[in-house]
A = this chain, B = another copy of it.
Amino acid sequence: MLLLAQKSKNMELNKVKIIGFDADDTLWVNETYFRQSEAVFFDLLSEFASRDDLAKELLATEIANLELYGYGIKAFVLSMLETAMHIAGNDLPIQTVGKIIELGRHQLNQPVTLINNIQLVLASLSKKYKLIVVTKGDLLDQERKLQSSGLLPYFHHIEVVSEKKVADYLRIFKRLDILPSEFVMIGNSIKSDILPILECGASAIHIPFHCTWEHEHVDVTISDAGFYQFEQIHEIIPLLLP
């Protein structure tokens, strides 16, 4: 019975021509670096507020700023600065401002740490499929990471979107001149990489990363013929290269 289900599922993927990969926390480690910067930020502000209050205020500021600043490290730095000034007011030492900006510069300069086995997976899949990156990060930052990661040769191109909503994916399908059934998206965010994709009628493979930004977190149970979930990226190989 299980085997049958698996078989019919694989048939769903028979039409797939293009595979979209999320970038941050799917190709390389990203959220970990945000958590590290946050930890330093909380220490810098520890005389003004508790870690929990700082975390709450920072998250609220980031979400309030999403529409204006978008995603990425520069937006994160500006939100940390605004949070610091809101919490500490005129008592905020000017040196702390410099240290927060330095945190951002340091994070932008972090080496790219690849997700285990990702190179092997891309090398295998690129023989049969056209691979693209679909990301809502900062274009320059994502291009730099792709370049220095050595993964660039496996990808046809990068689609940078300001949001990963249904309309954004439909626009990509139109531009690629494919049907939703010819596309599968692989990523770590249920909210961005999975739900809108399934709503489009495309397939989606969820590979969780060990930490997820709170704003990306959703609590759902998905039962959709086009939905797959694995713990490790290399587990998708038998599914896509049966």
Contact = CB atoms under 8 A, between A and B. Distances in A.
Given A70-B139, A160-B160, A90 B81 contact: no
A225 interface: no
A93 to B, nearest CB: 8
Contact of A78 (B104, B160, B171): B104
Interface stretch (A41-49, A94-102, A189-197): A94-102
A76 to B, nearest CB: 10
A92 B96 CA distance: 12
A66 to B, nearest CB: 9
Tell me if A's interface is mostly helix, strand, loop or mixed: helix
A157 interface: yes
Interface in A79-123: 81-82, 85, 90, 92-95, 97-98, 101, 104-105, 108-109
Contact of A105 (B68, B98, B105, B140): B68
Contact of A95 (B81, B90, B93, B141): B90
B94 A90 contact: yes
A75 B141 CA distance: 12
A138 interface: yes
Given A69-B74, A95-B90, A105-B68, A157 B138 contact: no
Contacts of A161: 139
20 contacts: A68-B109, A69-B108, A69-B140, A70-B138, A70-B140, A74-B78, A77-B78, A78-B101, A78-B104, A81-B97, A85-B97, A85-B101, A92-B97, A93-B94, A94-B97, A139-B160, A139-B161, A143-B162, A157-B171, A160-B160
Contacts of A90: 94-95
B68 A85 contact: no
A171 B104 CA distance: 30
Given A74-B74, A90-B94, 10 more contacts: A69-B74, A70-B138, A82-B101, A90-B95, A94-B94, A97-B97, A139-B160, A139-B161, A143-B162, A157-B175
A106 to B, nearest CB: 11
Nearest to A88: B94
